Structures are given as structure tokens and as C-alpha cells.
Amino acid sequence: MSPFDTGSHSPTVAGSSFPPVVLTLNKPTAATTAAPPTPQPDPIVQLPERCLRILATPGVTPAVSRVADELAGLLGDVRVAIGARRGEGPCRLLVLSGHQHLDQQNDYVQALELLLNETALSAPEAYDEPRLWRLGEGTTIADNALARVATLSNVTGAAAWKLAAPGTPNTGAIVVLGTAQTLSDAAFPQRLKIAGQLLAGLIPLLDQTAHRGVSAYLAEKWQRVTARKAFYLTLAAIVVGLLTLLPLPAWVSCECLLEPHTRRYIAAPFDAKLEKTLVQPGDMVEERQVLAVLDEQPLKNELSMRQAEYDESAKKRDAALATRKASDAQVSELEAAQIRSKIRDIEHRLQQLSVRSPTAGVVVRGDLKRSEGMPLEQGQSLFEIAPLTPMIAEVSVPEDEFRLVKVGQTASIRLDAFPGRRWTGEIARVHPRAELRDDQSVFIAEIAIANESNELRPGMRGKVRVEHDWQPLAWTWLRRPVTRFVRWLGW
């Protein structure tokens, strides 16, 4: 029997749904109540009061950890490990005095769990009294576990007590680690037994500590917040109100489309047949690069024919001069001159059979792969070449925000093809006349963008934010909704 009987108490943890903690101690006997004339109170009697005070504070895991720390301080120079077992599972280490965080993969923790398991899984009668192990005195599982603990810390002995709460299948264990001298104190077993009887009532609380999930933690935090809901709502309303009055740079958000700064169109130089095309839309080309080749055979045939006509005219001229027919010689000379001019024209065309790009850039139009062999007419458009430096971002400014966009304003551009990247520039020009784009009447503003790496392409779309004067944040947020509402009212 224990020398103390404090009755039954049911402390309630504030803000928790844990079951009451039952603390049960035995009534004193005559043998144990005998004391010297000036008795010194055993420090262990302070444990119930300290436990009640600790468990009345919020936070289950920190409270149980503090119980272990208090017990370690009352028992002397020792370490206290407390574990709980749920159902048929193993006994898991919950708290260790002097340690805030436990690594379940640590050798020291695993050795302690072997000691806790050896205690918690024993028969009910096996631990009617605290069990004591000394280093090097046995070869059981517990002795081997103690040897592992001893190699990792300065302990030479361990004492254990099985914890079993009435009315619950869950059990637990308490293991005290220390030196053989500390654990050999005559009063130590009785102290551990009293502490074990007290901690046995904490088994339901330890069980909930071991299996308390994230949802329970969040529920506890949310309960604290909702307890002061009115205060937090008022504070949030004040903060939002102040933010709406905070002056910040306002902006106009618009759609944009990339276009080349200039365009070069390449047409057929004369009537001819397309023999081969060497590029297609999207290809990068250099200045003077060959884009297509025209068929030379018709020109060569015509050149041979004109050359024969020229030779015939030259013979007629020579014959007229030999017979002293000056008029015939003069006519033949004129015919030869005309034929010679046609020959020069054909030779010039033969030098233009290779269609070349007049500038470096990208082929925007001109997919002629399926048109090879097709006859071409002089002036017929073949290719469109767009230089890539610089590019022009054509910004579509809605009519109701046209007055907010001015030349010289800073703008930031984000393209759909490059999420996360941003280009900056200035409004270089605003078209004075509105035009229809995507079924909306907009004004076009232009922003020049340097494209040194040639990664931007005509036709890319994105969004532009044009900054203008500083305005309250509420003005930026509510400007468009208010404008639409007023327009809906017909004002």
C-alpha cells in the first residue's frame, strides 16, 4: 500500500475534448505513517499538485513533456521516459525528460522503446513492484537494450513500472534511467511506485497525445481564433479600410500584340516558272540569302532564238554593205540593235533567277512548297520578311481608358509565350483614331521592345500594364466596375 491517498480528481484541460484524468493513490497504513519527530517531506508528494497545475494549461504534448521533466527533477539525477501502447500495437516513446523533439529513427530512442515494450507487454502481475536492471547483470532483451542505451549516454541502470488504466485496453510504461547508485536508494522504488500510480490515470491522455493528428491541432488553433472572432473581424475591417486609402501607382491593364517594326515584301521580278523554294514561314533568314529559284530553261531557249536572229541580221547587214545597198544595211543594223537589246534583257533575267532576301529577319508569309512548277506573274507577292529588331507591342487601349494613356508613360509587358518574364518600355505613340479589334473599339498605343536575342516573334500576345498617376487603392479596384455600372444605368 502507498503512504498517500489523495482521492479522485478530474482535472479538465482548457479547450480540449480529452477524457478526465483519474489520479488514484492508496490509503496510508500504520507502518508507513510512522515518522521521526521532525520528518522531512518526500519531494514526490509534490507531484500530484504539479501535475494538476501543468495539465490545466493548453497544449497536450507540451504538458505531458513537462510532467516527465517534473518527475525527473523530483526523483533525482535521472531521465524519465514515458510511453503508451494502443490496443495490440507496440509501446511507443511519447516523451523523454530534457528533450523537446524525438527522432524515431535514432538508436537511443529505439533502445528506449525496447525497454518500454519489455515493460508494457509483460503480464499484469510481473510488475507489481518496480523492476530494476543493472548494466551487465543479465542477457535478456531489456538488458541488451540497457547496454545500447549505456553506450549512448552516461547511465548504468534502469527502473521500470507498468502503467495500466482501469477501463481501457491501452497500457503504458515509465522507464527511469540513471546511475546504479541513484537507483539503489532505498526510497527510490517507493517513489517510482507512487509516480506510476499517478501516471496510470494519464493513460487515456497519453493515448490521445500519441495519435493526435493535424486536424485536431488545427481545430484547437481555430477554436482560439473563434473565441475572439469579433475582435479579429473588426481588426481585419480596419486594416482593409486603411489599405483601400493607401495611395499607390495606378495602372491600366490592356491586351497587346507583337508586330515587326517594318515589313519587306518580295515579289516575282518577271514572268517565270517557280522551280524550287528554299524557305517556309517561321524560318530565320540573313540578308541576301536565297529564298527561291526560278526556272531558267525558258529564258535559255529564248536567248538561243534571239542569238540566232541577231546572227541573221548581222549577215544581212554585211551582205548589204558588200553590194553597196546602204539603205538595206541601215535597216539590218537597226534590227540587230533591237535583237541585241532583247538579248541583254534575257541575260539580265538569267542573273535574277535566284530570289534573295533584302534584309535579315523571319519569314512571315510565303509557303510555296506546294506551288513549285507554278507559273508566276511579274509583281506577284512571294514572301514577307519581318526584321526582328526592334519589335513593336501594339497595345489595345479600351475607349473608356483612352484618356489615361499618354506618350512617355512606363509600361510593363508580360507575354503568354514567356510566363514569369517581363519587359519594360515607354509609350512611344498613340494612334489618334480608334479601330476595331476582336469586336471591340480600341485605340492602339505602340511600345518598342528590344529583341537582341531574337526570341520574340510577330503575332505573340500578352498583357500590358501602363502606369499613371498615384491613386488610392480603392480607386484602382473600383474604377472599372463603377464605370460599367454607370454605363449600364445609361448615364
Q: Is residue 281 pLDDT above 70, yes or no?
A: yes
Q: Which pLDDT value is given to residue 409?
A: 92
- Based on the fold, state whether residues 103 and 172 are members of the same structural domain: yes
Residue 320: what pLDDT? 81
Name the domain count of the chain: 3
Same domain, 125 and 68: yes
8 Å CB contact between 391 and 280: no
Count the alpha carbons within 13 Å of 85 in the hemisphere toward its beta carbon: 26
Share of the chain above pLDDT 90, in %: 22
| Backbone angles phi and psi of 203, in degrees to 5 | -55, -50
Q: What is the tens place of the pLDDT at every residue in 304-351?
A: 998 998 888 888 888 888 887 888 888 888 888 898 999 999 999 899
Give residue 454's pLDDT: 84
Question: 481 preceded by cis ω (within 30°)?
Answer: no
Same domain, 347 and 396: no
Q: What is the pLDDT of residue 208?
A: 53
**DSSP annotation string for 108-120:** HHHHHHHHHHHHH
Region 11-30 average pLDDT? 38
When mean pLDDT is compared over 102-111, 222-231, 405-414, the highest value belongs to 405-414
For residue 439, give its domain range: 391-489
Which of 329, 349, 384 is the last residue before a domain boundary? 384
Whether 195 is in a domain gets the answer yes
Is residue 296 one of the residues assigned to a domain? yes
Nearby residues of 16 by Cβ (< 8 Å), 6 or more positions away:
58, 60, 220
Range 380-389 average pLDDT: 90
Who contacts 80 (Cβ-Cβ below 8 Å, separation ≥6)?
A: 68, 69, 71, 72, 96, 97, 174, 175, 176, 177
**Cβ-contact 54, 42 below 8 angstroms:** no
**Pair 370, 431 in one domain:** no
CATH number for the domain spanning 431: value is: 2.40.30.170
Task: pLDDT band for 18, please (50, 70, 90 cuts).
Answer: very low
Task: Output the domain CATH number for residue 64.
Answer: 3.30.450.80
Within a domain: 23: no
pLDDT in tens, 102-161: 777 788 888 888 888 887 777 655 556 667 767 666 667 777 777 787 777 777 788 887
Domain match, 115 and 194 both: yes
142 is a domain residue: yes
Q: What is the mean pLDDT of the chain?
A: 77
Question: Each residue of 430-450: pLDDT tens digit?
Answer: 999 999 988 889 999 999 998
Q: Does residue 235 form part of some domain?
A: no
Mean pLDDT of 39-64: 60
Q: What is the pLDDT of residue 96?
A: 86
Higher pLDDT, 77 or 301: 301
Is residue 273 within 8 A of residue 294, CB to CB? The reply is: yes
Q: What local confidence, expressed as pLDDT, does residue 448 receive?
A: 93
pLDDT at 135: 67
- The residue among 40 and 310 whose pLDDT is bigger is 310
Please tell me whether residue 170 adopts helix, strand or coil conformation. Answer: coil
Residue 360 has pLDDT above 50, yes or no: yes
State what percent of residues in the chain have pLDDT above 70.
Answer: 75
Q: Does 11 score more than 90 pLDDT?
A: no
Does residue 128 sit in the same domain as residue 271? Answer: no
The answer to whether residue 313 is domain-embedded is yes
311 and 415 belong to one structural domain: no
Q: pLDDT-derived band of residue 33, with 50, 70 and 90 as boundaries?
A: very low
Query: Is pLDDT above 90 for 162?
Result: no
Model confidence at 2, pLDDT cuts 50, 70, 90, reads very low
Q: Do both 74 and 50 map to the same domain? A: yes
What phi, psi does 285 have (nearest 5°)?
-130, 155
Positive or negative, the CA dihedral 437, 440, 441, 443 is negative
| 69 is a domain residue | yes
